[in-house]
Each structure stands twice: as C-alpha cells, then as structure tokens.
Amino acid sequence: MFKKSDSLPETKEILDKNRFKLIRKIAEGGMGSVYEAIQYGSDGFEKIVAIKTIQENISKDAEFVEMFIGEAKLVANLVHQYIVQIYQLGKVDNMYYIAMEYIDGVNLQEFVQRHHEMNVKLDMDLAIYVISRVCRALEYAHNKTDKYGNLLGVVHRDISPKNVMINTEGFVKLTDFGIAKAAHIMNNQEGDILMGKAPYMSPEQAQFMQTDRRSDIFSLGIVMFELLTHQPLFGGERTGVILDNVVYKDIPPPRSINPEIPENIEKIMVKALQKSLDKRYQDAGQMAYDLEYFMYHDRFGPTYVTVEQQMRKLFPEFYRDATFRV
C-alpha cells in the first residue's frame, strides 16, 4: 500500500478494453441518443450506466464533436451528489460516446406532467426543495477550480426542467452540460451562436451577451416560477417572440398568479429573476441558503425521503419490478 506522498518506482499504465451492452434507448434527439447499458468488467463485474452517443451523420460535424468532447472533459471532474457523474469518453470507429451515471427515474418535466395526468397537486415545499438542490449543484459547478486553484468559470447555460433529474431514491441530479462553457475547456462562441432553450434563457443570454453564473440563476428562477405558478413565464409560439419577452417583458409578481406562494418565497423568486445583473442573486449558494432557511428554520422541512415518497405515488411502476420501465 502506498502513502499519498509515495510515488511508484516507475511509470505504470493499465491498458484495458471497455465493454458495454446497450439494453434500451432512453431518449433520442436530433443530435444523439442516450441508452441504458451494462458495463462489464472482469470476474463477472457489472454496472448499470448510461451511454450518450452522437448520431452518425452528426459525427462528421467537427464543431458538434468538439462540443461533445468538451462536455465530457468539463463534467469529468464535477463530482457532486447533485450532478450526474461522467465516467468516460470513448470512441468506437467514428462514433464518440460518453459513459455516465445512470439515473433510474424521470426528469422534472415528466415529474410535473405526471402530477397533471393524475390530477395531483404539486406540493409547494417539495418543489422548493428540488430547486434548492439544483442551487447547490450550481454553487459547486460555478465555484469549481482547476488543479492550480484557478476558477474554471463554469456556466451551465441550459437550466430547464428536462435537465433536472429525480431518481427513484428521491435524489435530484443536474445533467446535460452539453452547451456549458468554462475557461480553457470549451470554446467561447457567445456573441456568435445562440445556445440553450429560449423559454429558459436569461436576458443577457437571449441577447448574445457574455454570461456568467448569474445567468444560470435567472434560468433556475424561471423553472421555479413555473413550478409554483403552474404557468410558463415567457410565452410565445415563435422563438423570436419568446426572446423578446425574455429581454423586455415585465416579470409578474408570482403571488398575483398563485396567492398560496409564501411572501418569502416570492421575494426569492423576484430576486432570482431580476433582469439587472447587479440586483440578481450573485451566486447560487445565496439562493440555496434563503430557500433552506425557509424550509428548515422553524420546522422539519422536506428531504430526499419526501421526494422518494412522492415518486412512489406517482411512478409505482418503477418500484414494482426493477426491470420494468415505461
């Protein structure tokens, strides 16, 4: 056994081949697909993982491939309980893939949709708890440094209900850093290319301006607004209309739409949704603290157990048979 200060007498390498069996397709989009897979190791070792691939026709697009590789490099060292972990970047023939943590569960959009389908009201405390966990994920990512202590400057740039996962154990996980930016890891194309989902963009993002951690906070504020008011914040059928709304539309007081929202929570949302950068939360940790203070300062608030209990009610199929999936 080596101590931390010890060094190997000579350079050592482990050369091995990875083997994955794709079980089922979880999701598919215009750029790629995500599969549930089994990773095989020696002596009967097996691990369930997710495999993210690029569509074959897209694999010839150097810019997209670079972005795909950049995601893997960026997230590889983001090791946090509320962030989906990246295990490996690989290449088979001309196809790149990312092996990542498999989330046995649903995304936040599916979670909310199931409430509507079952005519069940979304518990406000539970919604606030989910947002607070994403805050902590962002706090970690935004403050991540390289091995020399230099701030990476990570900005997710795609915070939306589809990129917030909830697993069957009640844990919240932020995923899909595919268009994130970070110093010295991803090319900075802000000002040239608009990336992200229009209804969840910050005003600066919608105007092709430089973004920082405060942009993610605004996007998360939009998600929170929709969870608690049950209405989209920035409507519009065309992307151009939505972007104009993001930049110019006044933010309605959340309690004017849903009076059940506590005043303290409205203040948090309003601060997160300030179009002026200076008036907005300056970091996600501040927002997380305010949400946690509301939930726990005078009572025993929600935890991951609360989320799991709700998941069991909404998605019993996940718990009846571990091999069954909708």
Q: Which pair of tokens denotes residue 174? A: 């932020």
Q: Which pair of tokens denotes residue 189? A: 């194309």
Phi first, then psi: what are they for 313, rounded to 5°? -70, -40
CA nearest neighbour of 34 among 84, 83, 70: 84
Active-site residue flag, 158: yes
CA nearest neighbour of 221 among 196, 200, 250, 236: 200
Q: Which long-range contacts (CB under 8 A, 24 or more apart) does 21-26 make?
A: 22/51, 24/325, 26/50
Q: Taking the chain, what is the end-to-end CA distance rounded to the nearest angstrom?
A: 47
CA distance 112 to 315: 12
- Could you write out the three-class secondary structure of 99-168? EEECCCEEEHHHHHHHHHHCCCCCCHHHHHHHHHHHHHHHHHHHCCECCCCCECCCECCCCCHHHEEEEC
Phi first, then psi: what are they for 267, rounded to 5°? -60, -40
**263 close to 241: Cβ distance less than 8 angstroms:** no
- Three-state DSSP at 89 gives strand
Q: Catalytic residue among 158, 216, 283, 290, which?
A: 158
Q: Which pair of tokens denotes residue 194? A: 């608009």
Query: Known catalytic residues?
Result: 158
